[in-house]
Structure 1
Amino acid sequence: MKKTICLLVSLLTLSSYHSVINAQEVVRKSYAYFSLEPDIVTNYLGSSARKLGFVRVSIELMLEDPDFLEAAEHHSPLMRAATIEVFGSQPEKKVKSLTGREDIRLSCLEKLQELMLKETGSKMIKDVIFTKYLYYQT
């Protein structure tokens, strides 16, 4: 019985020591968030030429490093234009569906990463987050 208790105590001690070492080795990466302001309002392709649809989106960009905030602010007009271009080329069904919205978000992410890679030499953007997403059709 004493041997079992000693064995359990030693195992717990070793495992907690190992956890402390692993925790010290983990380096937390810090991110920053940049808001494309004001909200993006643009048209999308309606189901017919007579119907006009528009979408209003608030976009937050998750940047890979807080040091990229200044570059993001500098390039925000380019990023807004690229995002408007992506939304303007989307069909109505995609704009109105949840899976389509996710496809649009990923398209925006890819387009923005591509642009930032060309402009700054770094992708900079880790993720794109839609915090407000409204669509309307007349």
Structure 2
Amino acid sequence: MKTWILMLLALAMPVVAMAEEGGEKEDPNKVSYVALAPPLVGNYALDGSPKLHVYKADVALRVTGADAQKLVKTNEPLIRNQLVALFTQQTVDSMSNVDAKEKLRQEALKQTQEVLTQETGKPVVEDLLFNNFIAQ
């Protein structure tokens, strides 16, 4: 009989441990990445040339804490609008080489932080990453 009780207790321990883990508070300094989905897609270099130039950008924003993540999600339409406007203004040269894309990434981060500062009073986003960036 004692063996049976010990086996029952041994099986119940992982369930109790999992229930306790769910009750823990989330770390306020936890870094997370918020992906802007779906990817940003549009035209650029609208200089009147007959050739159509298209971009596709998978963007992720690095934030710290659940509050920052929530602020980014709340303001995502405004962030997307700002980034689409920025990408549309680019030239073929600014979308074609690595150095130019890095400058574009930094400008996208700066504009995202400015827009969030206007809306929330703080920049919220620490970094902006291109998970995938295609320009044709």
Question: Shift of residue 46 of structure 1?
Answer: 5.8
Amino acid at match of 2:124: M
Gaps of 5+ in 1: 1-28
What one-letter code is carried by the residue in structure 2 that aligns with 1:110? Answer: K
Find the aligned partners of 2:129 and 2:58 in 1 and give their Cα distance: 8
Residue 107 of structure 1: aligned partner: 107
Q: Root-mean-square deviation (CA), in Å? A: 1.7
What is the total number of aligned residue pairs between the two structures? Answer: 109
- 8 Å CA contact retained: 2:54, 2:135: yes
Q: How does 1:47-86 map onto structure 2 within 5 Å?
A: 49-86=49-86
SS in 2 for 1:125: coil
State which drifts further: 84-93 or 41-50.
Answer: 41-50
Q: Does 1:118 align with 2:126?
A: no
TM-score where L is the length of structure 1: 0.74
Task: Name structure 2 gaps, 5 residues minimum.
Answer: 1-28
Runs of 4+ in 1 over 2 A off after TM superposition: none
- 2: distance between equivalents of 1:34 and 1:128? 10
Matched to 1:44, the amino acid is Y
Task: Output the amino acid matched with 1:95.
Answer: M
- 1:36 corresponds in structure 2 to 36
Q: Distance in 1 between matches of 2:46 and 2:76?
A: 28
Output the CA distance in 2 between the equivalents of 1:125 and 1:65: 11
Q: What code does the residue aligned with 2:128 have?
A: V
**Contact kept? 2:46, 2:88, Cα under 8 Å:** no
The amino acid that maps onto 2:73 is E
> CA separation in 2, counterparts of 1:46 and 1:88?
8
Q: Equivalents in 2 of 1:85, 1:115: separation in Å?
A: 13
CA drift at 1:64: 3.2
Question: Partner residue of 2:5?
Answer: none
Mapping 1:123-138, distance limit 5 Å: 123-136=123-136
* Distance in structure 2 (CA, Å) of the matches to 1:46 and 1:114: 25
Q: Give 1:49 shift.
A: 1.2
